[in-house]
Amino acid sequence: MIDRGKRSILGVGVDVVDYDGALARIADAVERQRPLGVSALAVHGVMTGALDPEHKFRLNRLDLVVPDGQPVRWALRLLHGEPLPDRVYGPELTTRLCALAAERGWSVFFFGSRQPVLDALAANLQRRYPTLRVAGTEPSTFRDLTAEEDAALRQRIRRLDPDLIFVGLGCPRQEAFVYEHVAALGRPTIAVGAAFDFHAGLLPQAPHWMQASGLEWLFRLAVEPRRLWRRYVLLNPLYCIMIAAQALGLAKTRMARQVEPREALRHG
């Protein structure tokens, strides 16, 4: 098991952790009934923080940020001499947590996406893990909530009292949701990105060899070019340039800059 704390990648703290370390940290929070803010960050997720001082502040207040993408894992080794045997992939972390939940009798809640996706997600996971208890699901409104709607959402989730809360709102909305709500929800709250669409059967996953070689982005770009081209064509090269700058000790002040958000976000 590996869990050696956070290291800075472009000013964003990413945990040097493997699957076992992440599962142990989350399981401990479940058993103690404590909040734990978790996100799985690939390149896009790191860059949302690197380019936005307010969002960097949010990311750096999360308890556990796992290296979802191979280029993030490689950056930990290049910048900090921290080799990991594999990344901690959000969709895989989701299934491992659901397997553990089924084994230990924990209940899970899914928030985000659309109701048909959530229905398929829950059905597929319960087919795979027959004893998995789904406390509930709630789709995204795809807009910002009013203060009253936001409070009502928290109340609905708390009333169901799930042990694990999975959030699939897309980056950076899901990380902002975890930052804003994890303390009030009082349970591990985990941003898992495209895991909902993958496990619902809506989107295909890249072949293992592409995932292992850091080419998953190319597969996803081919599947969803209109939605993802800016993310991969623009941000990926910029990420490489900024990682090189950090490795050379350049732009330290800019990378360290973070600003406490001026107002709460109510993404729903």
Sign (positive or negative) of CA dihedral 151, 181, 258, 67: negative
CB-count burial class (<10 Å; 0-12, 13-18, 19+) for 37: buried
Q: Is residue 59 domain-resident? A: yes
**Per-residue pLDDT at 81:** 97
Contact 28, 21 (CB under 8 A): no
* Distances 262 to 45, 113, 177, 247, 254 between C-alpha atoms, Å: 21, 27, 15, 31, 19
Q: Is residue 157 domain-resident? A: yes
Per the prediction, the chain carries an average pLDDT of: 92
Q: Is residue 239 domain-resident? A: no
Q: Is residue 259 domain-resident? A: no
Residues of the chain with pLDDT > 90, as a percent, come to 73
Q: Is residue 242 domain-resident? A: no
Q: Inform me whether the pLDDT recorded for 253 exceeds 80.
A: no
pTM of the model: 0.93
The tokens describing 244, both together, are 């090189």
Average pLDDT over residues 159-180: 96
Q: Inform me whether the pLDDT recorded for 125 exceeds 80.
A: yes
- How far apart, in whole angstroms, are the C-alpha atoms of residue 68 and residue 34? 24
Q: Is residue 243 domain-resident? A: no
Q: Inform me whether the pLDDT recorded for 55 exceeds 80.
A: yes
pLDDT tens-digit readout, 102-112: 999 999 999 99
Q: Given the DSSP bridges, would you call strands 12-17 and 3-9 parallel, antiparallel or unpaired?
A: antiparallel
pLDDT tens-digit readout, 127-159: 999 999 999 999 999 888 888 999 999 999 999
Q: Is residue 227 domain-resident? A: no
Q: What Rg value do the Cα atoms of the chain yield, rounded? A: 18
Q: Is residue 189 domain-resident? A: yes
- How far apart, in whole angstroms, are the C-alpha atoms of residue 265 and residue 125? 30
| Number of domains into which the chain is organized | 1
Range of the domain at 170: 3-206
